[in-house]
Amino acid sequence: MTSTVEFLEYVCGQFERAGEVTYRKMFGSYGIYLDKKFIGLICYDQFYLKPTDIGRSILETPYEEPPFPGAKDWFILEDLDDREFLAHLLIATWEEIPFPKLKKSKNNKICL
């Protein structure tokens, strides 16, 4: 699942118009976050967008494939040159994805 830093930087640069783009290294790949929501993956120098209903309607007939063995299908975006279209798609996807739920820690104590 190795991806190059050059491809990561290119993708993040293309997504700048959508909001704050960050990433986290994950098992040789990268998780891509938009305004603190996990929206995609970079695996094998390919960008995978988390599938949503709105993303499906915007892409019309998206190409889908699992980003790694055993995963569910995600949208593959091969054309990353149109920044306006990408911003529209990513913002719409971001709006449909909920924020992750906070995990309860065993060590947290409730103050009374």
Structure tokens at 111: 């103050």
21's tokens: 């783009």
- Kindly report the pTM of this predicted structure: 0.86
- pLDDT reading at 111 higher than 60: no
Domains of the chain: 5-96 (3.30.1460.30)
State the pLDDT at residue 81: 94
46-49 and 21-26 strand pairing: unpaired
SS3 for 7? helix
For 72-91, the pLDDT digits (tens) are: 999 999 999 999 999 999 99
Mean pLDDT of 19-34: 91
Distance CA 40, CA 48 (A): 5
